Amino acid sequence: MLLVFLIFPERNLIMENTVLGGKAELLSPINYCFDFKWGSEGSANGHFLRPHDVNFDSKGNVYVSDRDRNDIQKFTPNGTFLMKWGSEGNSPGQFNVPYSIEVDPFDNIYVVDRGNEGNQRMQVFSQC
């Protein structure tokens, strides 16, 4: 069984579906209410220029990759800025369009860096 969420932002509606044997079956609409937001446009800590991906560690901390800032920012579950790393470049720890971010069960962070011509790569970060 595959669970699929269909998102209709113009109607503020998320539909949950299951796919059994290639046939989608509508289960139920799920309504979400706005809770809170954080960040605004800019280059200061906690701001975003072009956030692209988000993921969470085992403590609920939030990691956001930003394609235009070429960095990763870490926030508490309620949105308080904790830290950032990265800058534009091709050296280890630098990015050129950090595209996707994943966190494994041990809180290692995997960042796909796709803008380095001929040097597209995945970088792995662990707590030191």
pLDDT digits (tens, 9 = 90+) for 53-87: 999 999 999 999 999 999 999 999 989 999 999 99
Q: How many domains does the chain have?
A: 2
> Which residue range(s) make up the domain with 20?
1-33
Residue 43 located in a structural domain:
no
pLDDT digits (tens, 9 = 90+) for 85-113: 999 998 899 999 998 999 999 999 999 98
What per-residue string of b and e applies to 44-56 under the rule 16 or more CB within 10 Å gives b? Answer: eebbbeeebbebe
The verdict on pTM exceeding 0.85 is no
Contact 19, 26 (CB under 8 A): no
* Mean pLDDT, residues 18-36 taken together: 60
- Shared domain for 68 and 114, answered yes or no, is yes
d(CA 73, CA 50): 12
